Structure 1
Amino acid sequence: MKLYYSPGACSLGIHILLEEIGKPYELSLVALKEGAQHGAEYTAVNPKSKVPALDTGDGGPALTEFPAIAAFLAIANPEAGLVPRDALGQARALEAVDYVTGTIHPHAFTRQFRPNVFSLREEDHPAVIEQARANADKFFGVVEKIWRGDTWLLPQGFSIADAALFFVEYWQAKRVGGPLPPKLDAHLKAMLERPAVKRALEQEGLSA
């Protein structure tokens, strides 16, 4: 397998899952800050011009979209225990991944990091960023309220939901310097102690 990633991007969550699985894989850097995602070389891999993308090694096109890649890795590697065994538990894991990638990521962080996507008027950008920060507080508060597990988000234990939640927690704490509710703050600290997380951060040149 080959993971197309950019250091510290949402692809970090998939990188962690690959480390949790423990099978051989390659990393292929996509320099987002340099616009490599729009170049011919990468659009031949993923026409959506974003990371992550995963070459599964089956000879077909790369698999794209974080939820799909996470679900594939969990289903293809049941011994890694990346999703609960029961149907409802699996649905809960996917529910959390979807909330992170479909709501928290774009509306709390893309708005902060790329306000020009949400308004072409530069004078509007401070208001866009302010709304994004308010969204982050709101969305993290929602996760805190629906927390079902102890250390990990779900009572069944570590899952793809934790890997997804980690990358937005990491952005909030390390990139933005914003607060996290108590359960999420404890979760971030627990994630930073996992060997798979430590390895992924080191490989991407990121600090813990």
Structure 2
Amino acid sequence: MKLHYAPGACSMGIHVILEEIGKPYELSSVALKDGAQHKPEFKAVNPKAKVPALDLGNGGRALTEWPAIALYLGAANPEANLLPKDPAAQARALEAIDYVTGTIHPNAFTRQFRPGNFSVREEDHPQVIAQAQENADKFFDLLEKNWTGDTWVLPEGYSVADAALFFVEFWQARRVGKPLPPKLDRHLKAMLERPAVKRVLEQEGLAA
């Protein structure tokens, strides 16, 4: 397998899952800041021009979209116990992943990091960023108030959902520099202690 990723991007969560599984894989870095995602070489891998993309090594097209990749890796590697076997718990894992990737990521962080995607008028960018920061606080507060697990997202234990939550927590705490609510802060600290996460941060040049 080969993971097409960008250091510190949402693909970091898939990178964590691959490290947790422990099977051999390759990394291919995509320089998003240089626009590499829009070049023919990468668009031949993922016409959507974004990361992550996972080449399964079977000669077929790469698997794209964070939830789909996480579901595949969890289901294809049951021995890693990253995807609950109970259908209801599985659905809860996907519910958490969808909220992170479909709501928190675009509305709280893409708006902050790329305000030009949301307004062509540069004078509007501070307002776009301010709204995104308000969104982030609102979304994280909602997760805090509805937390059902102990250390991990699910009561059943560590799962692919934790790798999803990790990358937005990391952005809020390390990239934006804003504190997380107590339960989410505890979750981030627990993630940062996992050997797989430490390896990912080292490999992506993000280790403190």
> What is the TM-score when the length of structure 2 is the normalising length?
0.99
Question: 1:207 Cα deviation (Å)?
Answer: 2.2
- State the shift of 1:147 in Å: 1.1
Structure 1: runs of 5+ lacking an equivalent: none
RMSD: 0.6
In 1, distance between residues paired with 2:164 and 2:187?
A: 12
Segments of structure 2 that go 5 or more residues without pairing to the other structure are none
- 1:149-188 aligned within 5 A: 149-188=149-188
1:76 and 2:82 correspond: no
* Identity among equivalent pairs (%): 76
Note the alpha carbon deviations across 1:146-174, whole angstroms, 9 max, x for none: 21110001000000110000000000000
Partner of 1:198: 198
Separation (CA, whole Å) in 1 of partners of 2:145 and 2:21: 30
Separation in structure 1 between the aligned mates of residue 79 and residue 67 of structure 2, nearest angstrom: 19
Q: Which amino acid aligns with 2:125?
A: H
Deviation at 1:59, TM superposition (A): 1.2
Query: Which runs of structure 2 are paired with 1:88-167 in the superposition (5 Å)?
Result: 88-167=88-167
SS of residue paired to 1:27: strand
Residue 48 of structure 1: aligned partner = 48
Aligned residues: 208
Deviating above 3 A after TM superposition, structure 1's stretches of 4 or more consecutive aligned residues are none
The equivalent residue for 2:20 is: 20
Q: Which moved more, 1:139-148 or 1:188-197?
A: 139-148
SS at match of 2:24: coil
1:29-63 CA-to-partner distances (Å, cap 9, x unmatched) read 10001100000100000000000000011211000
Match of 2:67, SS state, is helix
What code does the residue aligned with 1:105 have?
H
- One-letter code aligned to 1:138: K
Give the partner amino acid of 2:75.
I
Taking the aligned partners of 1:119 and 1:207, their CA distance within structure 2 comes to 33
Matches within 5 A, 1:26-41: 26-41=26-41
Instruction: Give the secondary-structure state (helix, strand or coil) at the position aligned to 1:83.
Output: coil
